[in-house]
Chains A and B, each alone.
Chain A
Amino acid sequence: MNKPLRRVAIFCGLLVLALLVRVNWVQFVQGDALKNDPHNRRVAIERYSTPRGNIIVDGKAITGSTTTDSGDFKYKRTYKNGKMWAPVTGYASQAFDANQLEKLNDGILTGTDDRLFFSRTVDMFTGGKQKGGNVVTTLDAKAQKAAYDGLGKQKGAVAAINPETGAILALASTPSYDPSTFAGMSNKDAEAYNGLQKKSDPDEPMLNRALRQTYPPGSTFKVVTASAALQNGLYHDVDANTRSPLPYTLPDTSGLPLKNEGNIPCKDASLRQALRYSCNTVFGKISADLGNKKMKAEAEKFGFNDPGINTPVRASESIYPTDNRPQNAMAGIGQASNRATPLQMAMVASAVANGGKLMKPYMVDQLVAPNLNVVQQHTPQEMSRPLSPENAQKVQSIMETVVKEGTGTSAQIPGITVGGKTGTAQHGENNKDNPYAWFISYAKTDKGTPVAVAVVIEGSDTLRDDIAGGRLAAPIAKSVMQAVIEGEK
C-alpha cells in the first residue's frame, strides 16, 4: 500500500503548496492594492490617525484638526470660516472621503506622500508620530472675504487672478456649505451631508460654481470677439468706423434680426463705442465676418475647449463650439451655445490686462513638509498669447472706457485704472429663465496689474437689460479689486 500512500503524501503536499501560493498572491502580489483599496477602512483609519496638515492662506491655516472619541478615527477635520473657503479647500470627511485640494493633496496632508519619505524616516528614528505637511495657497484672504461677502445671499461665483503670475486670489461660490458639518462620521454628519445634496437642496451648495459651473458668458464675451477682430486684422483702429448696419440681420436666415438692448448708437460705431454701449449688432457682425474657425481659434487661445485646466482642482471645460453661421454670430455676443466658467472669464480679463499673455491659473504655491521644508514650489507658467502687446493695449483702452463712461461705471476705483465689461446672459428656452449678471474686470496700479476678476450672479429676476451686470456684479468685482490693491500697498 506504500505506493498510493506516497502519492497521497504528494497530493497533500500540493494542497499545502497551493495554500502557500495563494497567500503569497493575496498578501504579496495583491497586497498593496488591497491595502490601499478605498473600501478598505484601514485607509481611512490611517488617514485620520494623525492630525492632518493644514491648508494655508496668507500664512494662516484655514483648516485644523480636532480629536474625536467616537469610533475608529482619532482626528477630525475642522474648518475656519468653512463656508467662505469651501470652494478652495473642498472637504475631508471621515465618512464621505474628500475632494478638491483636500483630496488632491491627501498624501501631503496625511504625511504618506513619497516626497515626505525623508521626513517620515526621521520621524521613525526619533520616535515622532507621523505628521502631515501643509498646502500653501495663493489666495488672498481679504479678496476672498470681499468676494464672499459681496455675493451674500445671491447665487453666484467670483474668480480673481493675478494676471502677471496666474495665481488665483479669490474663489468664492454661493450658496456655500461648511465642510465642518460633515467632517465626522456620526448620524448628524450624514444628515448634514445628505441635506447638501442636490436632491434635498436644489440650490446645490456643494457645487463649486467658480470652477465647475459653466454659464453663457453673455456680453463679457465681446472682449474675446474684439480681440479676435484685432488679432485677425479685421480692424486696426479701435476708434475707426466698423461699417456696421443697424438693424443687422443674422447671416443665412430669412431676415432674422439681431437686436440691441434698448435704443443705443450702434450704427457704424467704433469698437470703443460698441463695447461701451455693448452693441450686439457690431459684435455679431464681427463674429460672422471672421467666421467660426477664426473665432474658435481665438477663444481657444484664451482657454476655451481645454478640458485640462488644473488649478490643481480641475476646472470644467469652457466651450466655444463648431457651429453654423447664425449660431456663430450669436456666439460672438456670448449668447449661443458657448459657455464659460467664472475662472475662464477671469482668465480672459487677465490675458488682456497682462499685455496679451495668458498665465496658467494656479492656487497652490507650495507644498511644505512637516519640518517646513518646501517639497514643491510652483513657478508661474505661460499658457498662451491670445493677443499681441499692441492689440492688448487697444483692448485695454476700450475696456477702460466701459468703466469710465459705459455700462461698468460702478466699478470705478478712485486713483486706479480699471477696465471691465458687463454682461447679462439670457438663458432658458425663449429667454424664460432668470438671466445671469456678469462682470469681468482688471485693475492697474502704477506698480503693475495685480488683479483680474470675474463675477457671475445667477437669477436676479428684476433686471433683464445689459445694465444688470453693471449694477449687480460690478460692485463685487470692485470690492475684490480694492481688497487686493490695499493688500499690495
Chain B
Amino acid sequence: MSSTTNTTTIGTIGAPSRRNTELAMLVFAVLIPVFAYVNVGLAKDGSVPAGVLGYSLGLGLLAGVAHLVVRKWAPYADPLMLPIATLLNGLGLIFIWRLDQEPSLGKAMAPNQLMWSTLGVAFFLAILIFLKDHRVLQRYTYISMVVALILLVAPVFFPGVNGAKIWITIPGLGSLQPGEFAKIIIAIFFAGYLMVKRDALALASRRFMGLYLPRGRDLGPILVIWALSLMILVFETDLGTSLLFFGLFVVMLYVATERTSWIVFGLLLSAGGAVAVATFESHVQTRVHNWLNPLELLDGGVTETAQAMYSFGSGGILGSGLGQGYSRLILGIAPKSDYILATVGEEVGLAGLMAILLLYGLLIERGIRTALAARDPFGKLLSIGLSGAFALQVFVVAGGVTGLIPLTGMTMPFLAQGGSSVIANWALVAILLRISDTARRPAPAPAPSTDAEMTQVVRP
C-alpha cells in the first residue's frame, strides 16, 4: 500500500538506476561540443582546428571518468544532470574559444577555462566519493553560516572591478568570486537552520488580515538576511548576488514552513529594499536606465546594452552560424562571461538559445524533482535551495542580458568564462546528485508484518 500511494513519481522500491541512459546521453553531450568546435574552426579558418583530437579526448575522458565515478559511488543518482552539465560546460568552452579568435576581445581564456572545468569536475568527483551521505552537511550548519558570511564580506576589502566589488584577489592565483561558493554554503546553512526552526516559524504566529505574522524572534533571521543582502548590494554594488541570497532564503522559508505569508513578506521587503537602494545608488540607477532605454546612444556611440540587443536581433531564428557572428562588436565589460549569451543568440539563433535555456530549465526541474523525491527534510530543503539558487541565477543573468530585467553582474552557470563559477556549479551538481542517489536508492525490503498476514486470514 504505502509504495503505491506515494505522492512522488519515483517509487520507493525498485527504481531503475538508469546509468546506461546517462552514458548514452553523455556521448551526445561530448559529441555536440566537438562538432561545434569543428564548425567554428571551419567557419573561421576553413580547416578543422588542430586541437580537435585533444579536445574531444579531454572532454570525453572527463565525462567518462565522471560517469564511472557516478556509477560506482552514486549508482541511483539522477541520470540527466551529469549529461546536461557536461553539455553546457562543453558548449561554454566552445563559445569562449570562439570568442578567443577575436583579438580585439583580449587574451585567450579558453585554456584557462578548460583547466578550471577540469578542476570543477575533479571537485565534483571528490564530493561524490567522499560525501557518503548529504546529511553529514547538517552538522556544519553554523560553521557554514560563519564561512558564508566571511565569503560574502571578503570582497569589500579588495578593489572593485568594473563597478562591482565581487572579487577577492589572491596574489599568484588570480581572482576568485566568493559569491559563487557562498551560494552553496548558505543553502547548507539555511537548510540546517530551517529544518530545526520550521515548526516554530510555521505555527507560532498570529493571524492578521489573512496573513500569518510570525513572532519577532522568529522574524529576526529573515530581517537579518534582508539587511545583509542589501548591505552586499550597497557596499559591493552587486545587485545579482543580493537578489540571489534573498530569493533563496524566501523560497527555502516558504518550502520549510508551507506559509504563503513568507512569500508576501519577501516580496514586500525586497521591493521596499530595491526602491530604497535605487534612490541613492547611482550604479543601480544606471542599470535601470539602460534597461528601460536599451537602444539609447551614449555620446553618439552605441551602448553595450544596445550591442547585445543587436546581436540577438541579427541572430534571428537560426543564427549566423558558429564563428560567423560579430560578437567582437560587444567590446564592453564581459563578452566572454556575462554577455556570452549574446554570442550564443547571434551565432546559433533563437533555436539554439531556446535549446540552451531549456537545458537549464531541465536541469533546474531535475533538481526540484530531487527535492520532491528526497525523504529527509534536510535533503529536501538543501536540494530546493540549490536548485532555486541555480534557477534564480539563470533567470537573473539571462533576463539581464536579453533585457527582460535590469542587468546584474552574474555569470551564466557553466556557459560563462570564470573559474569560481564553473567549480562552484560542478560542486552544486555533485551535491544534488548525492541527494538524488539517496532518494532513489531502493528502500530496504520491508520486514514481514505479522499484522498484515493476520488480516488476510480474516478476509473472506
B185, chain A: closest CB distance, angstroms: 21
* Given A23-B354, A35-B316, A4 contacting B254 (CB threshold 8 A): yes
Report the minimum CB–CB distance from B352 to chain A (whole Å): 10
- Find chain B residues with CB under 8 A from A42 CB: 310, 314, 326, 329
Indicate whether A2 sits within 8 Å of B8 (C-beta atoms), given known contacts A8-B251, A27-B345, A40-B310.
yes
Assess whether B404 is in contact with A18, with CB atoms less than 8 Å apart. yes
> CA A34 – CA B302 in complex, angstroms?
13
Contacts of B345 in A (CB 8 A): 23, 26-27
The chain A residue sitting closest to B396, CB to CB, is: A15
In contact, A12 and B364 (Cβ under 8 angstroms): yes
Q: Is A12 a contact partner of B353 (Cβ separation < 8 A)?
A: no
Determine if B350 and A24 form an interchain contact, defined as CB atoms under 8 angstroms apart.
Answer: yes
B329 CB contact (under 8 Å) in A2, A13, A41: A41
Chain B residue, CB-CB nearest to A21: B404
Q: How far is the CB of A36 from chain B (nearest CB, A)?
A: 8
Bound form: Cα–Cα A34–B394 in Å: 24
Within 8 Å CB of A8, what residues of B? 251, 254-255, 368, 384, 388
Cross-chain contact A3 with B258 (CB below 8 angstroms): yes
Is A31 in contact with B316, judged by CB distance below 8 angstroms? yes
Q: Which partner residue on chain A sits nearest B364 by CB separation?
A: A12
Which of the segments B61-69, B150-158, B355-363, B420-428 contacts the partner chain?
B355-363
* Contact B361–A39 (Cβ < 8 Å): no
Question: Max chain A CB contacts within 10 Å: which of B345, B358, B404?
Answer: B404
Min Cβ gap B257→A in Å is 8
Query: A residues within 8 A CB of B371?
Result: 5
In the assembled complex, B309 has its CB within 8 A of some CB on chain A: yes
Confirm or deny: A374 has a beta carbon within 8 angstroms of a beta carbon on chain B.
no
Report yes or no: B365 in contact with A12, Cβ–Cβ below 8 A.
yes
Tell me the minimal C-beta distance from B401 to chain A in angstroms.
10
Q: Check if B309 sits within 8 Å of A26, measured CB to CB.
A: yes
Residues of B within 8 A of A2 (CB): 7-8, 372
Instruction: Name the distance in Å between A59's Cβ and chain B's nearest Cβ.
Output: 38
CB pair A18–B384 under 8 Å, yes or no, is no
Contact check, B353 vs A23: say whether CB atoms are below 8 A apart. Answer: yes
In contact, A37 and B310 (Cβ under 8 angstroms): yes
Distance of B383 from chain A, by nearest CB (Å) = 9
Let me know if A32 is at the binding interface, CB within 8 A.
yes
Whether A6 is near chain B, meaning CB under 8 Å from some CB there, is yes
Q: Is the CB of B297 within 8 A of A39?
A: yes
Q: Which of A1-54 contact B (CB under 8 A)?
A: 1-9, 12-13, 15-16, 18-20, 22-24, 26-28, 30-35, 37, 39-42, 45
Asked if B7 and A27 make an inter-chain contact with CB atoms under 8 angstroms apart, the answer reads no
B354 touching A37, Cβ below 8 Å: no
On whether the beta carbons of A26 and B372 are closer than 8 Å, the reply is no
Contact of B313 among A12, A18, A19, A30 (CB under 8 A): A30
The reply to whether the CB of B10 lies closer than 8 angstroms to some CB of chain A is no
Q: Which B residue sits closest to A18, measured CB to CB?
A: B404
Count the B residues whose beta carbon is within 8 Å of the partner chain — how many?
51
Task: Find out whether the CB atom of B387 lies under 8 angstroms from the CB atom of A34.
Answer: no
Asked if A1 meets B380 with Cβ closer than 8 Å, knowing A12-B387, A34-B309, the reply is yes
CB-based contact B350/A28 at 8 Å: yes
In the complex, the chain A residue whose C-beta lies closest to that of B328 is A72
| Chain A proximity of B9: nearest CB distance (Å) | 11
B window 354-409: CB within 8 A of A: 354, 357-358, 360-361, 364-365, 368-369, 371-372, 377, 380-381, 384, 387-388, 391-392, 394-395, 398-399, 402-404
Smallest CB separation, A480 vs chain B (Å): 42
Partner of A37, one of B255, B295, B381, B399: B295
Q: B41 at the A/B interface (Cβ < 8 Å)?
A: no
Q: How far is the CA of A119 from the CA of B206 in the complex (A)?
A: 77
Q: Collect the chain A residues with CB atoms within 8 Å of residue B255's CB.
A: 1, 4-5, 8
Contact status A19-B402, CB under 8 Å = yes
Q: Closest A residue to B354 by CB, please name it.
A: A20
Contact present for B361 and A34 (CB under 8 Å): no
A31→B313 contact, CB < 8 A: yes
Q: Take A39-B302, A41-B326 as given contacts and tell me if A5 and B380 are in contact as well, using a CB distance cutoff of 8 Å.
A: yes
B357 touches A5 (CB 8 A): no
| A19–B397 alpha-carbon span in the complex (Å) | 10
Q: Does B418 contact A (CB under 8 A)?
A: no
Q: Is A27 a contact partner of B295 (Cβ separation < 8 A)?
A: no
Contact pick for B372, options A6, A18, A32, CB 8 Å? A6
B residues less than 8 Å from A35 (CB atoms): 310, 313-314, 316
B312 within 8 A of A: yes
Closest residue of A by beta carbon distance from B325: A42
Question: Cβ of B243 < 8 Å from any Cβ of A?
Answer: no
By beta carbon, the residue of chain A nearest B251 is: A8
What is the chain A residue whose CB lies nearest that of B369? A9
- Complex Cα distance, B358 from A57, in Å, reads 57
Contact between B313 and A27 (Cβ–Cβ < 8 Å)?
yes
Closest CB of chain A to B435's CB: distance in Å?
Answer: 13
Q: Is the CB of B295 within 8 A of A39?
A: yes
B317 within 8 A of A: yes
Mark each residue of chain B from 266 to 299: 1 if its CB lies under 8 Å from any CB of chain A, else 0: 0000000000000000000000000000010100
Give the residue name and chain of the A residue nearest to B377 (CB): A1
Q: Which of A413-440 contact B (CB under 8 A)?
A: none
Contact, CB under 8 Å: A23 / B368: no
In the complex, what residue of chain B is closest to A12 when comparing beta carbons?
B391
CA distance A343 to B186 in the complex (A): 78
A8-B255, A8-B388, A23-B354 in contact; A32/B395 too (CB < 8 A)?
Answer: no
Chain B residue contacts of A20, Cβ below 8 A = 354, 357-358
Distance in Å: Cβ of B79 to nearest Cβ of chain A? 19
State whether the Cβ of B256 lies closer than 8 Å to any Cβ in chain A: yes
The interface residues of chain B lying within 8 Å CB-to-CB of A41 are 302, 310, 326, 329
CB distance from B231 to the nearest CB of A (A): 26
Residue B315 interfacial (CB < 8 Å):
yes
From A5, A6, A18, A45, contact of B326 by CB (8 A): A45
Bound Cα distance A5, B309 (Å):
35
Most buried by B among A1, A30, A35, A72: A1
Tell me, yes or no, whether B192 is within 8 Å of chain A by CB. no
Chain A positions within 8 Å of B295 at CB level: 37, 39
Bound CA–CA A241/B316 (angstroms): 76
In the complex, what residues of A have CB within 8 A of residue B360's CB? 16
Least CB distance from A345 to B in Å reads: 39
Q: Is the CB of A23 within 8 A of B310?
A: no
Cβ contact within 8 Å between B357 and A26: no
B179 interface contact, C-beta 8 A: no
Asked, given contacts A28-B350, A37-B295, A45-B326, whether A23 binds B402 with beta carbons under 8 Å apart, the answer is yes
Q: Which B residues touch A4, using CB under 8 A?
A: 254-255, 258
Contact in complex: A13, B361 (CB < 8 Å): yes
Inter-chain contacts of A22 with B (CB < 8 A): 399, 402-404
Is B11 interfacial (CB 8 A cutoff)?
A: no
Interface centre among A16, A18, A41 (most CB of B within 10 A): A16
Q: Give bound CA distance, A205 to B411, whole Å.
A: 52
| A1 touching B361 in the complex, CB below 8 Å, given contacts A33-B313, A34-B310 | no
B349 at the interface (CB under 8 A from A): yes
CB contacts (< 8 Å) of A13 on chain B: these are 361, 365
Provide the B294-334 mask, 1 if CB < 8 A to any CB of A, else 0: 01010000100010011011111100000000100100000
A43–B377 Cα gap in the complex (Å)? 56
> A33 contacts which chain B residues (CB < 8 A)?
313
Q: A34-B314, A42-B310 provided; 13 other pairs, C-beta below 8 A?
A: A1-B255, A1-B381, A5-B384, A8-B254, A9-B365, A19-B357, A19-B404, A26-B402, A27-B316, A27-B345, A35-B313, A41-B329, A72-B326
The residues of B with any CB-CB pair to A shorter than 8 Å are 7-8, 251, 254-256, 258, 295, 297, 302, 306, 309-310, 312-317, 326, 329, 345, 349-350, 353-354, 357-358, 360-361, 364-365, 368-369, 371-372, 377, 380-381, 384, 387-388, 391-392, 394-395, 398-399, 402-404
9 residue pairs of the A-B complex, CB under 8 angstroms, read A8-B251, A9-B365, A12-B388, A27-B313, A27-B350, A31-B314, A34-B312, A39-B310, A41-B326
Going nearest first, the 5 A-B pairs with the smallest beta carbon separation are: A34-B313, A16-B361, A27-B350, A40-B310, A15-B395
